[in-house]
Amino acid sequence: MLLGAPAFDAEGKPVDFCTYLLPAADYTVDDVWDTVGLRGTGSNDVIVEDVFVPQHRALSFQLTSKLDTPGQKVNPGPLYRLPYGSVHPSTITAPIIGMAQGAYDAHVEHQRSRVRAAYAGEKAQEDPFAKIRIAEAASEIDAAWLQLTHNIDELYQLARREEKLPFATRLRVRRDQVRGSERAIAAIDRLFENSGGRALQVGTPIQRFWRDAHAGRVHAANDPERAYTMFGTGVFGLPVQNAMV
């Protein structure tokens, strides 16, 4: 098990955040994952009591942010030279954008045959306002995906050429990553609002995409205020005190 937790000094003051590698004998799993969304991830609680973790099984976030980890000294692959603070949050946003695309496809298919009884039997595909929502959602999804993939590809190409990864670029990656999650969820909400009462039924695709995307939004990697504050701090040339970048 890989677990994240603070590292403290002798006085109990937090001085770092680390990823710890623990063998199965050192922890127990508490089955508490009874959620409205992302039920399939099985993100249960992990209980660790009075366990000693040797230094060689601890990875410092400070070193990770500086791209100065033990693994990066011996692994020449460009993928492993990318910042954890760029890659990990992006892997959280990518499936949320995928959920938005799935919700979009499900919504369009549903609207093709939907008849709106409350509006004198009007066919949903003839509703001009429904078409506007579809266009807005499609644009938001495309924008989110294009920014996410463009930024990661830019970092990867720099790493492949063994060039320095500009800190301003890393801040932009985090900015656009959280913005991508916001765009994707806004697109899902826009479509869900116009899907009708039948979309609320358990088992319909769009309500599941809606629930899963909002569940993914609460992940720490999708905290927009922190990412935007980091970006603004960097724009003003001030030191950024955050390892997740």
**CA within 13 Å, CB half, 231:** 17
Residues 228 and 149 in one domain: yes
Residues 126 and 153 in one domain: yes
pLDDT less than 70: residues of the chain: 116-121
**What tokens appear for 202 in the block?**
């358990």
Residue 125 is predicted with a pLDDT of: 78
Residue 110 is predicted with a pLDDT of: 87
Residues 100 and 50 in one domain: no
**Residue 112: burial class (beta carbons within 10 Å; 0-12, 13-18, 19+):** exposed
**CA within 13 Å, CB half, 68:** 5
pTM of the predicted structure, to 2 decimals: 0.91
Residue 120 is predicted with a pLDDT of: 55
Residues 170 and 204 in one domain: yes
Q: Among residues 13, 45, 74, which one ends one of the domains?
A: 74
At 49, which CATH number?
2.40.110.10
Residues 99 and 200 in one domain: yes
Cα dihedral sign for 135, 182, 104, 121? negative
Residues 114 and 167 in one domain: yes
The span from the CA of 44 to the CA of 245, in Å, is: 26
Residue 76 is predicted with a pLDDT of: 86
